[in-house]
């Protein structure tokens, strides 16, 4: 159960749906409806109806998802099987005999994705033969759900969808189109699909057979009643109504009566039948009124006196003429009252107004009855009586008086009240059973739709899994390739380390300063003797521009020979005066040798420096 404010929010949501999209779900059973809406809410992460309404407002695409969820389209060919066998062997032959060669109009209301409409088409075509079917039959199949109708019109189904159809019928009524099977195109022309709202739209008329299965149960009982009276109007006299297995109609027996309750087949109650019934209910029960015509007869008097039925007679001059023992006891009359004007007696107006009834009975020459009149006889418990005022006529048919009898109907009345109560309880219990039954069926359909969704999700997951497995295998093979490449790389790295180590050793073993620069004059190598000569460590200079170093060598004079060496690839030598790291003047002989890259391009220049300390120039 929802808290009351949630119920209110839910009603607001329904009003919003009606206003925004014209879908009126207010007539649907709340429990089912709320479960379906909550399903969508969970999917979009809306915590309550209010936020879901807001979500719908900004995500219009959600409307369609919601409607698809509410309008449960669960259906199948030959759904529930058994009733269809009854249709084939019993009802349809009966209907066709009734119709002769006249057109046969069928309405499938709430047809979902079309399976039911094509099922009835197959059954009719089987009984009638294809040609007669084409000539005689029109099937109108309607639903509120436009997407379901589009599917219906396509008339193509998967093999799994056709599982409920006997193989021989699949063979004769479907043809393969790619991976799907299509319903016979010729017969398909007799099936017309259209959008129709059972709650709001006028019914299709002059229908001989109306199928509305597993749809009524979604609506509350008021709307079910309204739709059923439209169905009554829609059907021709003698037409049939075929419902789903949770739908029984026992409380609408005035409109339809069961042909086969087990299979939920009903026929339209004839209008005349309704009239007869109401006539029957309203007419007074037939009764023989025995009036003594010879008041003087002692025998008659004795019988009259001893009767257990209280009775009085009023003559034509409105005087009380007779009152038997029972009547006197009931109304406290005495022998002295005999002969008094009737209007002077209390009995003339209590417990019921009799004076006007006497006039009416005499004028209309028929009995007047007053039912269920309460009376408390002197010194007794209250009772219920039925008062009958019957005119009395003489031999020539002239009115001679009125007989008024008072029948004690207390027991009967009590029994009737008990019966009424019992009937009421029975009806309530029945309605509860019916509604529980419908609720169960709708829950069942919801479950079926969830199972279908899960099956689809499962299939998607399976295919994703297969894709993942393929990707995994590809990754494994890429991994193996990478491992091979990695091994190769490792081997090369080892070789490189060794080569570097060798190069370092060679450069260190050269007794001169060795510097290697790339074509941009960035220092690539700076051996230990260069460190010793110029006072800068290898890690301070590698990566620096040679000409930007701050050492005792006039570096700008190296630019030209390096460029020339790079340009023509020949060895050059220059001698420069410099100052070593100890501040001693040296003469530095510098050799420039080009380095070749893998494609014979100049990869840089190797600079070999040999410094000789020069004697300081003697001061004059
Ligand atoms: C569970 S399906 C029943 C399908 C089919 N009759 C059967 O028994 O297999 C219920 C169908 O009722 C339709 N429906 C719901 N509300 C409707 C309405 N107001 N008017 C017409 N169809 C409606 C739904 O769209 C859905 O296709």
Give 353-405 pLDDT, tens digit per residue. Answer: 999 999 999 999 999 999 999 998 888 889 999 999 999 988 778 889 999 99
- Give the Å distance between the CA of 56 and the centre of ligand 1: 23
Reduce the DSSP state of residue 3 to 3 states and report it.
coil
Atom of ligand 1 nearest to the CA of 445: 1
How far does the centroid of ligand 1 lie from the alpha carbon of residue 146, in Å?
11
Count CB atoms within 10 A of the CB of residue 186.
12
Q: Which two tokens stand for residue 106?
A: 């069928």
Write the pLDDT tens digit of every residue in 224-243: 999 999 999 999 999 999 99
**Which atom of ligand 1 sits closest to the CA of residue 27?**
19
**From the CA of 547, how far away is ligand 1's center (Å)?**
89
CA–CA gap between residue 531 and residue 254 (Å, rounded)? 117
What is the per-residue pLDDT for 319?
Answer: 92
73 lines ligand 1 (CB under 6 A): yes
Q: What is the pLDDT of residue 588?
A: 94
Task: Report the percentage of the chain scoring pLDDT > 90.
Answer: 69
Angle subtended by helix axes 115-128 and 92-99, to nearest 10: 60
Per-residue pLDDT tens for 506-564? 888 888 999 999 999 999 999 999 999 999 999 999 999 999 999 999 999 999 999 99
Helix (H, G, I), strand (E, B) or coil at 322: strand
| pLDDT at residue 155 is higher than 50 | yes
375 within 8 A of 351, measured Cβ to Cβ? yes
**Average pLDDT score over residue span 77-89:** 96
With a 6 A CB cut-off, is 244 part of the ligand 1 pocket? yes
Give the chain's mean pLDDT: 89
Pocket lining: 203 vs ligand 1, CB cutoff 6 Å = no
Say yes or no to pLDDT of 600 above 80.
no
74 lines ligand 1 (CB under 6 A): yes
For ligand 1, the distance from its centroid to the CA atom of residue 204, given in whole angstroms, is 16
**Beta carbons within 10 angstroms of residue 463's beta carbon:** 10
Instruction: Indicate the pairing of strand 174-177 with strand 235-243.
Output: unpaired
Split at pLDDT 50, 70, 90, the class of 602 is: confident
Residue with tokens 């030959």: 78
Tell me if 586 CB under 6 Å of ligand 1.
no
Q: Is 397 left (phi over 0), alpha (psi -120 to 50) or beta?
A: left
pLDDT reading at 47 higher than 80: yes
pLDDT in the model for residue 226: 92
List residues bridging with 235 in a β-sheet: 207
For tokens 């009764």, what's the residue? 287
Q: Rounded to whole angstroms, how far apart are CA atoms 616 and 42?
A: 96
- pLDDT, residue 276, reads 34
CA distance 226 to 219: 10
CA 111–ligand 1 middle distance (angstroms): 6
Q: What is the pTM of this model?
A: 0.61
182 burial level (CB within 10 Å; 0-12, 13-18, 19+): middle
* 3-class SS of residue 265: strand
Concatenated DSSP letters of 218-267: GB-HHHHHHHHHHHHHHEEEEEEEEE-TT---GGGTTTEEEEETTTTEEE
Contact 275, 286 (CB under 8 A): no
Give residue-wise pLDDT tens across range 450-484.
898 898 899 899 989 989 998 899 999 999 999 99
Smallest CA separation from ligand 1 atom 3, residue = 214
pLDDT of res. 486: 95
Higher pLDDT, 299 or 285: 299
In Å, what is the CA distance from 74 to each residue of 71, 77, 436, 445, 453?
Answer: 9, 11, 19, 6, 11
Asked if residue 208 has its Cβ within 6 Å of ligand 1, the reply is no
Sheet containing 523-526, strands listed edge to edge, beginning at the edge strand earlier in sequence: 523-526, 513-517, 602-613, 585-596, 572-579
- Whether the per-residue pLDDT at 250 is higher than 70: the answer is no
Which pLDDT score is estimated for 1? 57
pLDDT at 215: 95
Q: Which of 209, 215, 218 to mutate to test the pocket of ligand 1 (most atoms within 8 A of CB)?
A: 215
Average pLDDT over residues 581-607: 88
How far apart are alpha carbons 410 and 371 in whole angstroms? Answer: 11
Closest residue to atom 9 of ligand 1, CA basis: 75
Tell me the CA–centroid distance for residue 548 and ligand 1, in Å: 88
Ranges 137-151, 164-178, 490-504: which has the least confidence: 490-504
User: Which atom of ligand 1 lies nearest, measured to the CA of 79?
Assistant: 9
CA distances from 449 to 111, 172, 329, 456, 508 (A): 16, 29, 74, 11, 83
pLDDT at 377: 87
At 523, which helix (H) or strand (E)?
A: strand 523-526
Span 340-360, mean pLDDT?
93
Is residue 214 within 6 Å of ligand 1 at its C-beta? yes
Which has the closest alpha carbon to 589: 570, 606, 573? 573
The Cα 267–Cα 452 span in angstroms is 35
Tens digit of each residue's pLDDT (9 = 90 or more) over 120-132: 999 999 999 999 9
Ligand 1 center–CA 198 separation, angstroms? 9
Q: 79: Cβ below 6 Å to ligand 1?
A: yes
Whether the CB-CB separation of 611 and 581 falls below 8 Å is answered with no
| pLDDT at residue number 431 | 81
Structure tokens at 53: 């309404």
b (16+ CB within 10 A) / e for 520-550:
ebbbbbbbbbbbebbebebeebeeeebeebe
Confidence of residue 280 (pLDDT cuts 50, 70, 90): very low
């Amino acid at each position: 159960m929802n808290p009351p404010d949630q119920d209110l929010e839910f009603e607001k949501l329904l009003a919003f749906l009606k206003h925004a999209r014209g879908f009126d779900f207010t007539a649907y059973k709340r429990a089912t409806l709320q479960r379906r809406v909550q399903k969508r809410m969970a999917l979009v992460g809306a915590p309550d109806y209010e936020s879901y309404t807001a979500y719908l407002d900004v995500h219009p695409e959600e409307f369609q998802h919601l409607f698809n969820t509410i309008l449960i389209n669960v259906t199948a060919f030959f759904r529930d099987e058994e009733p269809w066998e009854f249709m084939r062997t019993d009802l349809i032959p009966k209907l066709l005999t009734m119709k002769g060669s006249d057109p046969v109009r069928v309405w499938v209301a709430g047809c979902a994705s079309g399976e039911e409409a094509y099922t009835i088409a197959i059954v009719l075509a089987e009984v009638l033969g294809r040609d007669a079917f084409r000539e005689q039959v029109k099937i109108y199949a309607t639903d509120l759900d436009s997407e379901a109708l589009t599917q219906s019109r396509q008339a193509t189904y998967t093999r799994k969808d056709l599982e409920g159809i006997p193989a021989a019928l699949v063979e004769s009524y479907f043809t393969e189109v790619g991976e799907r099977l299509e319903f016979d195109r010729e017969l398909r022309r007799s099936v017309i699909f259209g959008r129709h709202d059972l709650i709001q739209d006028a019914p299709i008329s002059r229908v001989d057979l109306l199928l509305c299965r597993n749809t009524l149960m979604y609506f509350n009982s008021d709307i079910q009643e309204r739709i059923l009276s439209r169905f009554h109007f829609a059907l021709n006299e003698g037409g049939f109504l075929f419902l789903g297995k949770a739908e029984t109609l026992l409380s609408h027996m005035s409109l339809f009566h069961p042909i086969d309750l087990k299979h939920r087949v009903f026929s339209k109650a004839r209008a005349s039948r309704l009239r007869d019934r109401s006539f029957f209910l309203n007419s007074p029960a037939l009764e023989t009124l025995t009036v003594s015509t010879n008041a003087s007869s002692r025998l008659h008097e004795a019988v009259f006196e001893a009767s257990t039925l209280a009775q009085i007679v009023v003559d034509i001059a409105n005087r009380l003429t007779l009152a038997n023992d029972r009547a006197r006891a009931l109304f406290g009359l005495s022998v002295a009252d005999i002969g008094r004007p009737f209007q002077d007696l209390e009995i003339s107006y209590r417990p019921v107004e009799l004076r006007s009834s006497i006039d009416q009975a005499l004028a209309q020459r028929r009995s007047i009855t007053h039912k269920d009149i309460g009376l408390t006889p002197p010194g007794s418990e209250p009772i219920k009586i039925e008062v009958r005022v019957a005119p009395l006529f003489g031999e020539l048919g002239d009115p001679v008086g009125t007989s008024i009898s008072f029948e004690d109907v207390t027991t009967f009345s009590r029994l009737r009240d008990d019966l009424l109560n019992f009937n009421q309880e029975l009806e309530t219990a029945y309605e509860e059973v019916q509604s529980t039954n419908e609720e169960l069926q709708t829950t069942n359909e919801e479950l079926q739709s969830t199972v279908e969704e899960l099956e689809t999700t499962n299939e998607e997951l399976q295919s994703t899994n297969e894709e993942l497995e393929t990707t995994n295998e590809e990754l494994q093979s890429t991994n193996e390739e990478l491992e091979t490449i990695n091994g190769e790389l490792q081997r090369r790295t080892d070789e490189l380390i060794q080569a570097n180590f060798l190069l370092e050793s060679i450069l260190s073993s050269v007794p001169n300063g060795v510097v290697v620069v790339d074509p941009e004059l960035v220092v690539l190598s700076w051996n230990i003797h260069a460190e010793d000569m110029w006072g800068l460590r290898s890690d301070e200079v590698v990566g620096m521009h040679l000409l930007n170093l701050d050492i005792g060598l006039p570096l700008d004079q190296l630019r030209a020979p390096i460029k020339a060496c790079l340009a023509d690839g020949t060895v050059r030598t220059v001698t420069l005066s410099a100052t070593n790291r100890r501040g001693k003047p040296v003469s530095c002989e510098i050799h420039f040798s080009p380095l070749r890259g893998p494609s014979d391009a100049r990869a840089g220049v190797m600079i070999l420096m040999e410094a000789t300390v020069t004697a300081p120039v003697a001061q004059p």
